Amino acid sequence: MKNNYASPEDLRWKCYKCNIFLSVGPATLIYMGNKIKAQLPVCPQCGFVFISEELALGKMAEVEQILEDK
Ligand SMILES: [Zn+2]
């Protein structure tokens, strides 16, 4: 199971609140009532998790698949 959903492009983003670059770290998402732990770009200061459009559209389908396989 691949848990790293961060791509290098995501790390060019800054937190809109703190104005510092995001770093990849473990984050917990709630998706369809399930807690999913994944490596995602997060703000080291406030914990904001950045979810790119690609992740939202593409990777969530993968996650759904993972959940169905359980
Ligand atoms: Zn922040």
Assigned domain for 3 exists: no
Assigned domain for 2 exists: no
- Given a contact cutoff of 8 angstroms between Cβ atoms, the answer to whether 10 and 22 are in contact is yes
Beta bridge partners of 34: 31
SS3 of 52, please? coil
Assigned domain for 41 exists: yes
For residue 25, the CA-to-ligand 1 centroid distance in Å is: 13
Q: How many domains does the structure of the chain reveal?
A: 1
For residue 2, pLDDT beyond 80:
no
For residue 68, the CA-to-ligand 1 centroid distance in Å is: 33
For residue 24, the CA-to-ligand 1 centroid distance in Å is: 13
pTM above 0.85, yes or no: no
Amino acid 30: pLDDT: 78
- Residue pLDDT, tens place only, 3-22: 666 666 656 778 889 999 88
Amino acid 5: pLDDT: 61
Count of positions (residues) in the chain: 70
For residue 58, the CA-to-ligand 1 centroid distance in Å is: 25
Assigned domain for 61 exists: yes
- Residue pLDDT, tens place only, 50-62: 776 766 666 667 7
Q: What is the DSSP letter of 4?
A: B
For residue 6, the CA-to-ligand 1 centroid distance in Å is: 17
